Amino acid sequence: MPFADIVGHERVIEVFRRSVRSGKTSHSYLFEGPVGCGRKKTALALIQALFCRATDDDACGVCPACRKVAGGNHADIHCIEPLPDKRDISIDQLRELQRELALRPYEAPRKACIIEPADRMSVNAANSLLKTLEEPPGNAIIILLAENADMLLPTIRSRCQVVRFSPLSPEHVRTLLKRNGMDSESAALLALMADGSMQRALELDDESLAGRREMLLKHLSAISLGRIATVFDASEELAGNRGDTLETLDMLLSFYRDMIHLAAGCNDIVNTAIRPALESFAARLGLDRALQVAGDVMETRRAVQRNANVKLALDHLFMKMAGGAT
Ligand SMILES: [Zn+2]
């Protein structure tokens, strides 16, 4: 995938384009950032740009070299990850890599390798890589991927040029999901719940999402009637593990964001499949109350993130929503 097709990370890409154009790329990089934000795609785009001879600062995407990189079968690219039944990348894997890097490239101007996750190299494996990082044989390029650079040995870090990747914005996740063929509405909702990670977005199964939306809406309708028993039923059913609960709260927040839009006279909403229900909620609550509840949901989200008891946090929130608390 050429740089031109990468979504987000504009500043990083611009720097890479400049260094490819001027022929001044580093030989060892450490890409630091959350899983699913596009580090590996960017690493492959950089390698593709270096291997493609058609253009000066990006890959053409169509020449034989570009197609092999995109197809994952370029003989000069080595991807190192833990073996299937192992937790760590072993020293044997790195020795094998070093042997490969010492050979002449088959067809590319240089060899390339991606090590992921770099923080799962055993200490011995990491130490064996130090000299290679400093002076890669045959001008090879080595790209390490890690969520947190601080998890790597300082001796590894200091030998690499560190490139920081931010989580994707919801707009970028939405764009990528739609590019994957997802309908606009599901993409918009998942993008809000994905924490800037495409991997996370894809894990959140679209169909189960529709089911959860229906269930949440059902509880919301019951809570809005203000009966205390329904409040506890709702928190009983909706309180899952911390991650599930955060997703439920994100979904709830997306409902209230839509209600705020509707109450303010703006028709642009995310949850179009339940528009009639949201319109009637918005009409009943009004803008001020919808804003207030959205604030309460965000506060609950922060509390759950800070390890609050999930069930109690939801009890408290739903009581407030039912008008039964202070
Ligand atoms: Zn090309």
Lowest mean pLDDT among 65-79, 185-199, 293-307: 185-199
All domains of the chain in start order, with CATH: 3-164 (3.40.50.300), 205-322 (1.20.272)
- Measured distance CA(290)–CA(204) in Å, rounded: 27
- CB-based contact 193:32 (threshold 8 Å): no
Q: Tell me the CA–centroid distance for residue 183 and ligand 1, in Å.
A: 31
The rounded Å distance from CA 303 to ligand 1 centre is 50
pLDDT at position 21: 94
Residue 326 has pLDDT above 70, yes or no: no
Tell me, in angstroms, the distance from the centre of ligand 1 to residue 67's CA.
Answer: 7
- At 244 the pLDDT is 85
Q: How far is the CA of 59 from the centre of ligand 1 (A)?
A: 5
pLDDT of residue 213: 87
Separation of CA 7 and ligand 1 centre (Å): 19
Report how far apart, in Å, the C-alpha atoms of 274 and of each of 183, 278, 282, 287 are.
15, 6, 12, 19
From the CB of residue 253, how many other CB atoms can be counted at a distance below 10 Å?
Answer: 18
Residue 43 has pLDDT above 90, yes or no: yes
| Ligand 1 centroid from CA 68, angstroms | 10
Distance, C-alpha 303 to centroid of its chain? 23
Buried b (16+ CB within 10 A) or exposed e, 44-61: bbbbbbbbbeebeebbeb
Spatial distance between the Cα atoms of 319 and 313, rounded to a whole number of angstroms: 10
Q: Looking at residues 196-202, what average pLDDT do you find?
A: 90
How far is the C-alpha of 230 from the C-alpha of 181, rounded, in Å?
Answer: 38
Note whether 32 and 146 are within 8 A (CB).
Answer: yes
Q: Residue 1 Cα, ligand 1 centroid: separation in angstroms?
A: 10
Question: What pLDDT shows up at residue 324?
Answer: 46
What are 144's two structure tokens?
A: 């390490």
What separation in Å is there between the alpha carbon of 135 and the centre of ligand 1?
Answer: 27
22: CA distance to ligand 1 center in Å? Answer: 18
**Intra-chain end-to-end CA distance of the chain, in Å:** 54
The pLDDT score that the predictor gives to residue 138 is 86
pLDDT band at 207; cut points 50, 70, 90: low
Q: Are 140 and 40 in contact (CB under 8 A)?
A: no
Can you tell me the mean pLDDT for 120-140? Answer: 90
- DSSP E strand boundaries for 93-181: 112-115, 141-146, 161-164
Centre of ligand 1 from the C-alpha of residue 71, in Å: 13
- Please state, rounded to an integer, the average pLDDT across all residues of the chain: 91
**CA 139–ligand 1 middle distance (angstroms):** 20
Q: How far is CA 11 from the centre of its chain?
A: 18
Confidence class for position 300, pLDDT limits 50, 70, 90: very high
| Pure H helices in 136-183 | 154-157, 170-179
Q: What integer pLDDT is reported at residue 206 of this predicted model?
A: 64
Stated pTM of the model: 0.74
pLDDT of 239 reads 86
Q: What digits encode the pLDDT tens for the residues 234-269?
A: 888 888 888 889 989 999 999 999 999 999 999 889
The predicted pLDDT at position 325 comes to 41
Residue 70 Cα to ligand 1 middle (Å): 10
Cα 140 to ligand 1 centre (Å): 19
- 65 CA to middle of ligand 1, Å? 6
* Centroid of ligand 1 to alpha carbon of 64 (angstroms): 7
pLDDT in tens, 150-198: 999 999 999 999 999 999 999 999 999 999 888 888 899 889 889 899 9
- Spatial distance between the Cα atoms of 222 and 234, rounded to a whole number of angstroms: 8
Percent of the chain at pLDDT > 70 equals 98
**Count of Cβ atoms closer than 10 Å to residue 126 Cβ:** 23
Strand pairing class (28-32; 112-115): unpaired
Residue 143 dihedral angles phi and psi, to the nearest 5° = -120, 120
Taking the centre of ligand 1 as the mean of its atom positions, its distance from the CA of residue 24, in whole angstroms, is: 19
